[in-house]
Structure 1
Amino acid sequence: MPDLRRADVPRSQAAGCRRGAGGRHSMSETIAHRIGYGYRRRLATLLPAIDLAYFMLVWPLVYARYYVPADLSTGPIMEAQPGLLNRLFFPGMAALSVILLIAERHRIGRFQLFGSCLLIAFFGYLGLTAAWALAPAMTLTRLSLYILLLIGLVPALLLADRMDDILRPMFWVTAVAVAVNVASIAVVHTTSIGFPGIYSHKNTLGANAAIAGLFAIYALTRADHRVRVAGFLCLPAVVGLLLISQSKTSLGMMVLAPATALFAAGVRRRLRIALPILMVVLTIPAAFLLGGGVPGFDYRDVSLLVSGDPTFTGRTEIWKFTAAHIAERPLTGWGFQSFWGIGPASPAARMTDTFIARTPHSHNGYLDMALEGGMIALSLFLMIVLMIAWWIDRLVDRDAGAGILMTSCLLYTLWQNLLETDWLHGMTTSNVLLMLMMLSAVTIRQGRALT
């Protein structure tokens, strides 16, 4: 016969029975605790939006114009050293993240073992390259900023219930950035190469406007009519900014990335072809075509068709120079961010070609990843990209709008880095998105992946 004195009663009820009126006090403490959790969770989900606001609004308005010249053809390159604002912002965000994780340590999710080890191996190896880097102090300093940024994003992904809880505040930040850049037309003069907005270069405005356009399209898929209206108003403003900035590449990618993402989502649903497999299947013929597999046609013809210049505005010479130095250290590379922009120690500084000597990177993220980290870093990074694609593949099934946005962002970064170096280089919006996707791909929330 069961012991009736030890009946299975919830502890909170039993405590209330034992304390009498004290039970009401226990209930009030529980309610206050839940309110505190809700407040902390909402704060955690805002952290990626705060990072985005820093890159899109705070940094350019406070510091950017004093660090990067608008035209590399004149004057020496100004080194982008970490400013006071960086030294306050990134450690502060990381400290806030640690506090939130400690406060909610019983509710946080966890990370997948394989994905976590892959990220640790990648960033750990980038740190290890300081042992043979040309400028080891610069390698460690710049890498530390990205590590702090990564830590600052962790609470959002471990505490959020849905991906929309993170993406919606980020959309509002992009909407504000669009409004500020539209307003800047009245006070900022157009340069000879295009309108820069509040940024130091017209390409930065183009890149941020394109990303804002992707978020505006995402806003149109939400049920909240206020978000949809804001997204509808943002789209024409984004197109206008892209046109006056003369950022044709960004305009093209803003159109192509969502269209390709929608196509990929349709293939995923209809033919049940996973996104990583689809990416590999489409990459092989594209690489064959651009690599000269078809007689009389290669990447120079594409450049001539798009820009009227078969050299991608001088990039091919930089790519040849970069490829030659990759061949010197093919496995280990020259050190993370320890080749370009490090002064006389850089092999580029000794070149008589002023464009190569002044360039801040090779204008190709894949080449720079191999140049700085060798085939080891490039291989680890491409594995991370495929891991992100697997996560997005699951996200599309649960939230098509968020899945298409993340697919668009992934395609945008992959294509952007064909002509520019953006991965872990500089204060860019796409680096926030890249790290957000990295962490999202390895996060398990309440027994399932974050969706």
Structure 2
Amino acid sequence: MSATLPLESRRCFSLAASLSAFLFYALCFVLPSGYSYGAGLVLLASVWFFISNKTVSGLSVEDKRLALVLGGTFLVALAAFLGHGNKPKTLDQVSRCLLLIPVLFFLIKIPPRVGYLWSGVAVGGITAACIAAWQKFGLGIERPSGFMTSAIPFGDLSLVTAFLCLGGLLWERPTDGRAMNNLKFAMLLCGFLCGIFASFVSGTRGGWLAVPLVLVLFCTSLLPKMAVRQKITGVLIVLVGLGGTFGVLRDDLYARYDTTVTELQQYVEGDRSATSIGLRLEAWSVAAAHIAQRPILGWGHEEYINSVEALTQEGEIGRSVGGLSNTHNNYLEVWLHQGVFGLAMLIALYSLPFFYFCKRLGSDRRNVMALAISGASVVASFAVFSLTQVILGRNNGVIFYLLSVALLWGCMRNEEGRVWSDGDPKGGLITGIDELPS
């Protein structure tokens, strides 16, 4: 906390950060652009914080490096924008990296109360499942998308919310003899199961690739420290979640699996653009061919569109590929339009926070470890999602990723440097604002 701010101001900023964290996750699925309310509130709070405080002190080398990566990501995109003469809209999503820098510093100095964060995550997972079930079984929509642009981001963000709920369960499991809060545990467990359900209902195949990686993160962090009874309980929770969802959606999952196999076979046999997978693979092939021509600086957006259109007219590629809005691969998309420098910044945007979170996975403080696992899971998931979609090219994807990393990082850094007791003054559900230390 900043020593230059009076106590009442710090309490107001803490409340703003806490409400932002809750609203960000709680409204993410229940309203169109629901994520923007919490994001907007924390941005306004951070601006007002720096107007009031004027300076930022006490930042670690890690904090500064994360900010440098955010700023570098924007500057590389800006250079590509100027060099290629792109339209201003190409800077839309990446501008969030620049806006996150003051938010990141604000959340490091005044993080949200973690109970608000976990409460929002639990509510987000539950509402995602409610909306998915309503659209699937009530409206007959084959692949529910909630209030998002498509089923893909809805399914992916639901899955990440489930992972966050699983991290919250670690926080809420006391290790000092205190009784477990059954309401908090039940909410987070329900949020985890509901998030898994919503993801599966959406039929988002690419997102499921993140499940094994995240399970490895949890297992390598927790299993060496857990008693046999705790290991069995944890495995049962995961199996119940996956098994229950599979039982409800068995026919749909089998159908998606059969479709995947069929589309791959069609692609191998030469039908390269008539299916979803075929279109993706063909789009990747076309993008890779263009990248090979200009690997350093890349192609302008309009220039690339014109080149693809020319190839379409010549019959070199199918017309369906030319109609795609992007390459459906975040790594190829950035390399294609920002060159190797853009690709390097995207990799850094994933690898640096992932490395810093993973450094804390073996922490003896369970609260730090819970936040570290949650943060690493978010980063790992988005890195996997980026293989099959341009998830950071959507407002919902880029804002969810960036703000989740900032929220979890701020909370984790605060836990590492806490000077008050371990009596959980910040870990409850929303019951009011506790007195902050002076």
Please confirm whether the aligned pair reaches a TM-score higher than 0.5, indicating the same fold: yes
Encode CA deviations 1:337-362: one digit per residue, 9 max, x unaligned. x36xx9x9654455353332222221
Q: What are the ranges of 5 or more consecutive residues in structure 2 without an aligned counterpart?
A: 173-180, 227-256, 268-276, 419-438
- Show the 5 A alignment for 1:134-173: 134-149=85-100, 151-160=102-111, 164=114, 167-173=117-123
- Show the 5 A alignment for 1:341-380: 346-350=306-310, 351=312, 353-380=318-345
Say whether residues 1:309 and 2:263 are aligned partners: yes
Encode CA deviations 1:285-314: one digit per residue, 9 max, x unaligned. xxxxxxxxxxxxxxxxxx999644335343
Displacement after TM superposition at 1:319 (Å): 0.7
- Show the 5 A alignment for 1:98-113: 98-104=47-53, 109-110=58-59, 112=61, 113=64
The structure-2 alpha-carbon separation of the partners of 1:54 and 1:374, relative to structure 1 and needing over 3 Å to count, comes to farther
Encode CA deviations 1:25-75: one digit per residue, 9 max, x unaligned. xxxxx9x9424312312312443444445654433579xxxxxxxxxxxxx
The structure-2 alpha-carbon separation of the partners of 1:116 and 1:430, relative to structure 1 and needing over 3 Å to count, comes to closer
The amino acid across from 1:372 in the alignment is H
Say whether residues 1:47 and 2:23 are aligned partners: no
Match for 2:380 among 411, 433, 438? Answer: 411
Displacement after TM superposition at 1:428 (Å): 2.2
The structure-2 alpha-carbon separation of the partners of 1:170 and 1:234, relative to structure 1 and needing over 3 Å to count, comes to closer
The amino acid across from 1:265 in the alignment is S
Encode CA deviations 1:236-293: one digit per residue, 9 max, x unaligned. 333433343223443453x3243121244269989xxxxxxxxxxxxxxxxxxxxxxx
User: Does the Cα contact within 8 Å between 1:364 and 1:418 map onto a contact in 2?
Assistant: yes
User: Does the Cα contact within 8 Å between 1:258 and 1:405 map onto a contact in 2?
Assistant: no
Q: Using the alignment, how far apart are the partners of 2:105 and 2:21 within structure 1?
A: 9
Match for 2:356 among 391, 407, 413? Answer: 391
User: Does the Cα contact within 8 Å between 1:209 and 1:238 map onto a contact in 2?
Assistant: yes
Secondary structure at 1:333 match in 2:
coil
Match for 2:127 among 177, 181, 194? Answer: 177
Q: Using the alignment, how far apart are the partners of 1:258 and 1:233 within structure 2?
A: 19
Q: TM-score scaled to structure 2, two decimals?
A: 0.67
The structure-2 alpha-carbon separation of the partners of 1:135 and 1:234, relative to structure 1 and needing over 3 Å to count, comes to same
User: How many equivalent pairs are there?
Assistant: 355
- Show the 5 A alignment for 1:61-210: 94-104=43-53, 109-110=58-59, 112=61, 113-149=64-100, 151-160=102-111, 164=114, 167-175=117-125, 177-178=127-128, 180-182=130-132, 184-185=134-135, 189-191=139-141, 194-210=143-159
Secondary structure at 1:370 match in 2:
helix
Q: Work out the percentage of aligned pairs sharing the same amino acid.
A: 15
The amino acid across from 2:17 in the alignment is A
Match for 2:293 among 328, 333, 357? Answer: 328
Q: TM-score scaled to structure 1, two decimals?
A: 0.65
The structure-2 alpha-carbon separation of the partners of 1:244 and 1:400, relative to structure 1 and needing over 3 Å to count, comes to same
User: Does the Cα contact within 8 Å between 1:185 and 1:197 map onto a contact in 2?
Assistant: yes
Structure having the higher Rg: 1
Structure 2 residue aligned with 1:233: 190
Displacement after TM superposition at 1:367 (Å): 0.8
Encode CA deviations 1:124-163: one digit per residue, 9 max, x unaligned. 121111112352322334433553355445422331288x
Q: What are the ranges of 5 or more consecutive residues in structure 1 without an aligned counterpart?
A: 1-29, 63-85, 271-302
The amino acid across from 1:97 in the alignment is S
The structure-2 alpha-carbon separation of the partners of 1:126 and 1:48, relative to structure 1 and needing over 3 Å to count, comes to farther
User: Does the Cα contact within 8 Å between 1:210 and 1:242 map onto a contact in 2?
Assistant: yes
User: Does the Cα contact within 8 Å between 1:127 and 1:139 map onto a contact in 2?
Assistant: no
Match for 1:58 among 12, 27, 31? Answer: 31
Q: Using the alignment, how far apart are the partners of 1:445 and 1:245 within structure 2?
A: 35
Displacement after TM superposition at 1:448 (Å): 6.6
